[in-house]
A and B are shown apart, each in its own frame.
Chain A
Amino acid sequence: DGGITQSPKYLFRKEGQNVTLSCEQNLNHDAMYWYRQDPGQGLRLIYYSQIVNDFQKGDIAEGYSVSREKKESFPLTVTSAQKNPTAFYLCASRELAGVNNEQFFGPGTRLTVL
């Protein structure tokens, strides 16, 4: 059963804590992405990675960190430096070969800061 999984589905964090969101895919996709969505807003790119051990900042990387130690995994850490972390976090992936391969999304993690 191929797909993208994200865990946990819901996450509650106290102010000042770091939390890590999991994203795993078994689609053999090279590229992986992290987006943030706020209510009534579109998706904004946080980080993306095309190959293992390499990743690039997106439009809103401040307060976030990522790693790509394995092709199938791209975890996102929301650090205490992120001023307003409450949001819906979406992971996506796509094949790298081909010019227009579409991005597919995981089910998302909803993070709430208490």
Chain B
Amino acid sequence: QKEVEQNSGPLSVPEGAIASLNCTYSDRVSQSFFWYRQYSGKSPELIMSIYSNGDKEDGRFTAQLNKASQYVSLLIRDSQPSDSATYLCAVKRDSGAGSYQLTFGKGTKLSVIP
């Protein structure tokens, strides 16, 4: 069973600080990685995807990927109370014939303190 591991938290950071969310995965051949944000009682929304080693920046969000260490992270700069949510890491696994599935971690709950 391919696994995706996340620290469940809660991770508490003060407003304006950098929040660092981490994810490790067991399937060495995984190529694509996604971060979803899920507010309490709501469905997940995609915030970042990353496919190559290194950093990918989008506004206040930076995704970092290290395939050799099987590690992907999400940094949130200038954290705001509205960033308080659960962040889900998802790893793509190919099912053949152009199909793929996502394996999700259990999520890290982030709390940004005003």
**Chain A contact residues, CB within 8 Å of chain B:** 31, 33, 40-45, 48, 50, 56, 58, 90, 96, 99-100, 102-108
In the assembly, what is the distance between CA of A104 and CA of B4, in Å?
20
Whether A50 contacts B105 by the Cβ 8 Å rule is: no
Is B80's beta carbon under 8 Å from chain A?
no
**Which of chain A's residues have a CB closer than 8 A to the CB of B34?**
102-103
Contact A104 B46 (CB under 8 A): yes
Known contacts A100-B32, A100-B51, A108-B43; is-contact A45 B105 (Cβ 8 Å): no
A43 to B89, CA, bound (A): 10
Residue in A31, A33, A56, A102 whose CB lies within 8 Å of B49? A102
Contact across chains for B44 and A90 when beta carbons are under 8 A apart: yes
**A56-B95, A96-B98 are known contacts. Are A42 and B46 too (CB-CB below 8 A)?**
no
Q: How far is the CB of B87 from chain A (nearest CB, A)?
A: 11
Nearest opposing residue in chain A for B106, CB measure:
A42
**Chain B residues near A50 (CB, 8 Å)?**
97-99
Q: Is the CB of B105 within 8 A of A105?
A: no
The 6 closest A-B pairs by CB, nearest first: A42-B104, A105-B43, A43-B104, A42-B106, A108-B43, A100-B32
How many residues of B are in contact with the other chain, CB < 8 A? 25
Once bound together, how far apart are the Cα atoms of A33 and B103, in whole Å? Answer: 13
Residues B82-114 near A (CB distance < 8 A):
88, 90, 92, 95, 97-99, 101-102, 104-107
Given contact pairs A42-B105, A100-B51, A100-B92, A31 touches B99 in the complex (Cβ within 8 A): yes
Task: Please give the distance in Å from A109's CB to the nearest CB on chain B.
Answer: 10
Beyond A56-B99, A105-B36: 14 further Cβ-contacts under 8 Å? A42-B4, A42-B104, A43-B44, A43-B102, A58-B101, A90-B43, A100-B32, A103-B34, A103-B46, A103-B102, A105-B44, A105-B45, A107-B42, A107-B43
Q: Which residues of B contact A90 (CB under 8 A)?
A: 43-44
